[in-house]
């Protein structure tokens, strides 16, 4: 059991470090205008599904792309917390025009808010906590 918890902690920690890297470089990426096409959150209790639909479209060189990421650093929190996803999507409304930061080398990699946010630090703390408690199990 301790091996599984430790491995999970390491995975969370590494993914969070990668999110820090992407959040940092995102500030230097190109920008374009996009439009939110779906923003909301709902819980389907009967099927135990937690859904936070959030989509925006943007065009680069007449090619339309579909984005879902608001910030880098929320990867782990969105896996485990419906409330985190709801909080993030609460500020965007359907039809809203947004600035999209996209990777000039891979146009499909994008985010709406560049830079490091509290989400990534929460994820790092969760990963570290898993690694610390693993030996006690």
| Total domains, the chain | 1
Mean pLDDT of 10-30: 89
Alpha-carbon distance 62 to 20, whole Å?
A: 31
Evaluate if residue 134 carries a pLDDT over 60. yes
Instruction: Give the structural domain span for 77.
Output: 2-136
> How many CA within 13 A on the CB side of residue 105?
3
Q: Which residue has the tokens 């703390």?
A: 125
Per the confidence metrics, is the pTM higher than 0.85?
Answer: no
Return the pLDDT at 45.
Answer: 40
């Amino acid at each position: 059991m301790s091996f599984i918890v430790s491995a999970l902690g390491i995975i969370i920690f590494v993914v969070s470090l990668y999110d820090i890297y992407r959040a940092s470089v995102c500030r230097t990426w190109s920008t374009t205008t996009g439009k939110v096409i779906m923003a909301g959150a709902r819980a389907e209790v009967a099927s135990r599904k937690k859904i936070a639909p959030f989509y925006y479209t943007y065009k680069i060189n007449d090619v339309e792309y579909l984005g879902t990421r608001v910030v880098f650093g929320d990867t782990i929190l969105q896996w485990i917390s419906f409330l985190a996803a709801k909080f993030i999507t609460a500020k965007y409304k359907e039809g809203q025009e947004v600035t999209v930061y996209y990777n000039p080398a891979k146009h499909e990699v994008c985010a709406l808010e560049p830079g490091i946010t509290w989400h990534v630090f929460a994820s790092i703390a969760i990963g570290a906590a898993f690694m610390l408690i693993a030996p006690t199990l």
